[in-house]
Structure 1
Amino acid sequence: MIDIVIVDDHDVVRSGLSGLLSDDPGFDVVGEAATGEQGIRLARELEPDIVLMDVELPGCSGLEATARIRRASQRVRVVVLTAHAEPPLPARLLEVGASGFLSKSSPAEELLTALRAVSRGERYLAADIAQQLALSMLPGTPDTPFEGLTPRELEVALMLAQGMRVKAIGEVMNLSPKTVATHKYRVYDKTRVSSEVELLRLALRYGLMNIDPVH
């Protein structure tokens, strides 16, 4: 039996995934979470075999949650299932320890195949994600403005684009406001923006998010 925790901020998505997995005798959904923070807590308390993780979550995103889950336990694996598979997210998620990556347009059977593979200690990339990563490494491939960001800088960028303030980001990431501010201005410099509004527009343009900023 493969124990799964589902992390997604949409009730309908969690319900659908839970139903799909519950119909298969090889899986047991042991917990569900609507935020990255809840997902981290459940991963620590329940120690499932796999956390099935969305990327675009309120507050602590799937990128930061994946990194923290993997730092806390090398046994708990993370499979990312997201609507946002544009560069550089797949590469950054793999860097911080994700074992699998699929888009939400993937067939249900492929998701089950990926979860079984990851439970055996393998990595799994959907074919379109693998192709995208391979193409991104070819000489002459244009970079997105976010390509040069480290995983931590990308996480800060996504939270800034949501409208989160430096102090709140620091609380989510367990960083001092000064450290977050340093990351913020590195993000601004690397992406050549001068405000959170410009950063949001850039994130929307390159498909990293599709939500309105919070207030």
Structure 2
Amino acid sequence: MIRVLLVDDHQLIRTGTKRILDDAVGIEVIAEATSGEEAIDFVRKNEVDVVIMDVDMPGIGGLEATTKISSIQPGTKVIILTVHTDDPFPSRLLNAGASGYITKNCASDEIIASVKTVFSGKKHISPDIAQSLALSMLDGDETPFSKLSQREMQVMMMITQGYSIQETSEKLHLSPKTVSTYRYRLYEKLKVENDVALTHLAIRYGVVDTNMRDQENL
């Protein structure tokens, strides 16, 4: 039996995904989490074969959570289930240790297939994402965010979600001074002057899910 942990801050997504997997032979959803922090904590204490992870969540988010889970439990496979199809997210998350990358509009059969594929030790990437990655490599197409390091991406995601310097430092276990340094380095690399301009740039390139931001502001 493949033991699966679902990680998404939207209950509707978790419920729908759980229903799909519960109907599959040989797969069991053993728990659900609403944040990267909850997922990391659960994986530390329990045996999990596959984690299905969202990217945009309050707190450290899917990128940092994938990195940590891959580090503390290398045998646990992570599948990214997200709305983001374009770089820099697919390549960053695969480099962070994800074994699969699928989109939230994929067919139910693909979700089941992705779990079984990564459990067997192989990679599973949705065809549209694989094509996007291949074309990006061929064309040399890069977004402004492609030049960021993984830690810079993590800090950028926290800033665009509205977290303060202090909150970001606590979530990422960095000093406030270090977070401030990363913040100004982001401004420099992306040629923006403040957090608002940074957020607008992230939205323009699809790095930030505007639906998630709207829901957080309700």
TM-score, scaled to structure 1? 0.95
CA contact 2:79–2:115 (8 Å) conserved in 1: yes
Match of 2:176 in 1: 177
* Regions of 4+ moved over 3 Å: none
Question: What is the one-letter code of the residue matched to 1:9?
Answer: D
Cα shift readout 1:52-82 (whole Å, capped 9, x = no counterpart): 0000001111001111111111011100000
Q: Which residue of 2 aligns with 1:15?
A: 15
Where does the alignment leave 5 or more consecutive residues of structure 2 unmatched?
none
Task: Please report how far the alpha carbon of residue 86 of structure 1 lies from its aligned counterpart in structure 2 after TM superposition.
Answer: 2.1
- CA distance in 2 between counterparts of 1:8 and 1:184 reads 27
> Partner of 1:194 in structure 2?
193
Amino acid at match of 1:61: G
Deviations 1:119-174 (A, max 9, x none): 011111111111111111124x4321111011111111111011111121111111
Structure 2 residue identity aligned to 1:148? K
Q: TM-score, normalised by structure 2?
A: 0.94
- Residue of structure 1 in register with 2:71 after alignment: 71
1:62 maps to a residue whose letter is G
The answer to whether 1:88 aligns with 2:88 is yes
What is the alpha-carbon distance in structure 2 between the residues aligned to residue 63 and residue 200 of structure 1? 18
SS at match of 1:32: strand
8 Å CA contact retained: 1:93, 1:151: no
Secondary structure of the structure 1 residue equivalent to 2:55: coil
Q: Which blocks of at least 5 consecutive residues in structure 1 are unaligned?
A: none
Q: Which residue of 2 aligns with 1:40?
A: 40
Q: Structure 2 matches for 1:11-160, cutoff 5 A?
A: 11-139=11-139, 141-160=140-159
More divergent stretch after superposition (88-97 vs 37-46):
37-46
CA distance in 2, matches of 1:46, 1:137: 38
Residues 1:212 and 2:213 are matched in the alignment:
yes
**Aligned CA-pair RMSD:** 1.4
Which range moves more in the overlay, 178-187 or 115-124? 178-187
The separation in 2 between residues aligned to 1:129 and 1:5, in whole angstroms, is: 23
Aligned residues: 214
The letter for the 2-side match of 1:212 is R
Alpha-carbon distance between aligned partners in 2 of 1:91 and 1:147, rounded to the nearest angstrom: 9
Partners of 2:155 and 2:179 within 8 A in 1: yes
Letter in 2 for 1:79: I
Q: What whole-Å deviation, never above 9, does each CA across 1:74-128 have from its counterpart, x for those lacking one?
A: 0111000001222100010011100100111111101111110100111111111
Higher helix share: 2
Amino acid at match of 1:174: H
TM-superposed CA distance for 1:32, in Å, is: 0.2
Match of 1:64, as an amino acid? E
User: Aligned residues: percent identity?
Assistant: 42
